[in-house]
Amino acid sequence: MSALLQIQNVSKTFDLPGGQALTAVDDVTFAVEKGSICVLLGPSGSGKSTILRMIAGLETQSSGAVLLNDTPIDGPGRERGMVFQAYSSFDWMSVGKNVEFGMKINGVPAAERRARAERFIGLVGLSKFIDAYPSRLSGGMRQRVAIARTLANAPDVLLMDEPFGALDAETRWQMQELMIEVAEASGTTMIIVTHDIEEAIFLADKIVFLSSHPGRLKEEILPTFKPGRLRNKEDVIALPGYAEMERKIMRMMREEGHK
Amino acid sequence: MSTASKGRKARLLQVRVPVSGRQALISALGVWIAFFGVWILASGLGWVNPILVPPPGKVFATIVRLFAEQGFGADVLISIGRVLIAFALASLVAVPLGVAMGAFPAINAVFAPFVSAWRYLPAPSFIPILLMWFGTGETPKLALLFLGVIFFLVTLIADHTREIRKELIETALTLGANRRVTVFQVMLPAVLPNILVAMRQMLAVVWTYLVIAEIVASTTGIGAMMMRARRFLKTDEILAGIIVIGALGMACDMAFALLHRRLFPYLEDKR
């Protein structure tokens, strides 16, 4: 049985004004197992967001193949839900209606919709705000809404593009711990793009490290020093093996920076 | 005076230091009192010809008299009717077309070159030909008001639609939205507050064209009344017309502001 998601020899070239071409992603191959958390890590210019957008179907690859359940993806679809760095709340709907939106357009009956929305809003800790408008919420809370909205729509894979990049430090690690909880509770497969090394090691079952200009797969890193998923970040940082892995990845980042 | 500014010299003009509510009120009243003061003095002391510049008291008395005795209310209603009908027609075309142009580059590619060329043609330049085509009835007036705003309204709405944040559209797509759902359930509600703002701005422009239409080619309406008054040197009636038009414009603007607050309560918290 092959992996849930397969990225096979994927390249992406952008045409620049003036007739030049920019290779953002160059011959990248990796696979994501069902139920796992895969983190795409790399310096800026490593094409990690571009890879995520190709998986989402928001960009098309110049060559290679992206397969979900052995089927080539064709455009965006509900089975690949995405959470963006910038706020994406539908401001004219309450938190509850935001979370119901995906299910509503996919024909889930109202009662079931409401129940699922309540479950996922509870999971991200926003039950008190189910009838509030998103404009009343803080940045971290809005990202929780976006996560609940995507999860409630039951995607095969949750794609996140630097989802906590705009948040302050404290909210950020709370959200990281929330993602571990959510992954455990829902069993959702996740692909998370970040350039934060701590975040990558804490969240990942597998880190796909990309080099920059052009984006190439440099190394697949497995944080095997972790005994499964831990909910507290400080517990992960205290593990033997954490410091060594962080140091190794920092070196890789630095090498990329000096290129 | 706040405690923080004690020890510093109190200054009247400070860059971007907000004024108190009291100072704002005094300033606002002051400028109007000065305006009417100069007006009263100028006409009362004979600095100006009282036939050309009647005193404010007389102008306001004239407003009352016009409504009470001379059937001015009918003229006002006719003018309001023209504005509302022409503006409704323009909105009926501009909202769907503008949103479609903003949503679909293929539609924009057809209409943008056409619409932006028309924007440079001053609507009043069409008055002679409109009169020849449509005679002297209501049609040429409505056509002028329509032409005066339609191209600006379409452009504004298309721009606002184009400015909808990409994340909203891409979120909808990755939740499984098709084209229809994306346009009608995400883009349209997202742009609606800005459409209303554009309509509010353009309604003010419709009033401008209304007066032009009624002064040039009408026997009814506020503008026509003012042109009649001119013939008999009734400057008080002309000024009364100006004030009524100003008041109506302001009322429209306030109605739109109220509508905006009512329709989009979720924007309140943002400020």
Please write the tens of the pLDDT for every residue from A72-88: 999 999 999 999 999 89
CATH number belonging to domain A1-79+157-168+182-259: 3.40.50.300
Q: Check B174 against A90: CB less than 8 A apart.
A: no
Q: Could you give the 3-state DSSP secondary structure of residue A82?
A: strand
DSSP-derived letter for residue B125 is: G
Q: Check A76 against B264: CB less than 8 A apart.
A: no
DSSP-derived letter for residue A166 is: T
Q: What CA–CA distance (Å, rounded) separates B138 from A125?
A: 61
Tokens for A16, please give them.
């620049």
Q: What is the pLDDT of residue A213?
A: 86
Q: What is the pLDDT of residue B8?
A: 61
Q: What CA–CA distance (Å, rounded) separates B20 from B26?
A: 10
| pLDDT over threshold 60, residue B3 | no
Size of interface A-B (CB pairs under 8 A): 74
* B79 in Cβ contact with B221 (< 8 Å): yes
Interface test with B, best of A103, A129, A133 (most B CBs within 10 A): A133
Domain regions of chain A by residue span: 1-79+157-168+182-259, 86-154
Surface-to-core class of residue B174, CB atoms within 10 Å of its CB (0-12 exposed, 13-18 middle, 19+ buried): buried
Q: Could you give the 3-state DSSP secondary structure of residue A168?
A: coil
> How large is the ipTM?
0.93
Pick out chain A residues at pLDDT < 50: none
Q: What percent of chain B has pLDDT over 70?
A: 95
If you search the block for the tokens 């353009």, which residue do you land on?
B202
If you search the block for the tokens 């000024």, which residue do you land on?
B239
The whole-chain average pLDDT of chain B stands at 91
Q: Given CB atoms, is B170 within the 8 Å cutoff of chain A?
A: yes
Q: Given CB atoms, is B262 within the 8 Å cutoff of chain A?
A: no
Tokens for A141, please give them.
């809370």
pLDDT confidence band for B10 (50 / 70 / 90): low
| pLDDT over threshold 50, residue B21 | yes
Q: Rounded to whole angstroms, what are the CA distances from B244 to B30, B141, B142, B220, B241?
A: 22, 20, 21, 15, 5
If you search the block for the tokens 């008190």, which residue do you land on?
A128
A220-258 pLDDT per residue, tens: 999 999 998 898 999 999 999 999 999 999 999 998 877
pLDDT confidence band for B270 (50 / 70 / 90): very low
If you search the block for the tokens 């009291």, which residue do you land on?
B22
Q: What CA–CA distance (Å, rounded) separates A241 from B194?
A: 54
Tokens for A237, please give them.
């940082």
Chain A partners within 8 Å of B170 (Cβ): 56, 58, 76, 82, 84, 88
Chain A partners within 8 Å of B165 (Cβ): 86, 88
Q: Which ranges in chain B belong to alpha helices (H)?
A: 21-44, 56-69, 72-103, 105-118, 127-134, 138-162, 166-174, 179-181, 188-217, 222-231, 235-263
CATH of B59-270, one of 3.30.450.20, 1.10.3720.10, 1.10.10.10, 1.10.246.90: 1.10.3720.10
Interface test with A, best of B170, B175, B188, B260 (most A CBs within 10 A): B175
| pLDDT over threshold 90, residue B51 | no
Q: What is the pLDDT of residue B2?
A: 47
Q: Could you give the 3-state DSSP secondary structure of residue A64?
A: strand
Interface test with A, best of B171, B178, B188, B196 (most A CBs within 10 A): B171
pLDDT confidence band for B9 (50 / 70 / 90): low
Q: What is the pLDDT of residue B194?
A: 96
Distance of CA B102 to the CA centre of its chain: 24
Q: Which of residues 45-74 of A touch B (CB under 8 A)?
A: 56-58
* B72 in Cβ contact with B66 (< 8 Å): yes
**Residues with Cβ < 8 Å from B28, sequence gap 6 or more?**
none
Selecting from A90, A102, A135 the residue whose C-beta is nearest the C-beta of B176 gives A102
Selecting from A77, A90, A136 the residue whose C-beta is nearest the C-beta of B176 gives A77
Q: Check A90 against B266: CB less than 8 A apart.
A: no
Distance of CA B203 to the CA centre of its chain: 4
Q: Check A102 against B190: CB less than 8 A apart.
A: no
Q: Check A84 against B267: CB less than 8 A apart.
A: no
Domain regions of chain B by residue span: 21-51, 59-270
Q: What CA–CA distance (Å, rounded) separates A210 from A139?
A: 29
Q: Check A150 against B267: CB less than 8 A apart.
A: no
Q: Work out the average pLDDT over B200-212.
A: 93
* B236 in Cβ contact with B58 (< 8 Å): yes
Question: How near does any CA of chain A get to the CA of B2, in Å?
Answer: 31
Selecting from A77, A82, A86 the residue whose C-beta is nearest the C-beta of B165 gives A86
Count of C-beta atoms within a 10 Å radius of residue A197 = 19
Nearest residue to B159 (alpha-carbon basis) of B107, B93, B98: B98
Interface test with A, best of B166, B173, B174, B192 (most A CBs within 10 A): B174
Distance of CA A113 to the CA centre of its chain: 24
Q: What is the pLDDT of residue B271?
A: 40
Q: Given CB atoms, is A220 within the 8 Å cutoff of chain B?
A: no
Helix (H) or strand (E) holding A194: strand A189-194
Q: What angle do CA A236, A238, A242 make, to 5 degrees?
A: 65
Q: Given CB atoms, is A102 within the 8 Å cutoff of chain B?
A: yes
**Residues with Cβ < 8 Å from B97, sequence gap 6 or more?**
B111, B154, B157, B158
Q: Given CB atoms, is A153 within the 8 Å cutoff of chain B?
A: yes
**Residues with Cβ < 8 Å from B104, sequence gap 6 or more?**
none
Q: What is the pLDDT of residue B1?
A: 44
Helix (H) or strand (E) holding A169: helix A169-186
B88-143 pLDDT per residue, tens: 999 999 999 999 999 999 999 999 999 999 988 899 999 999 999 998 889 999 99
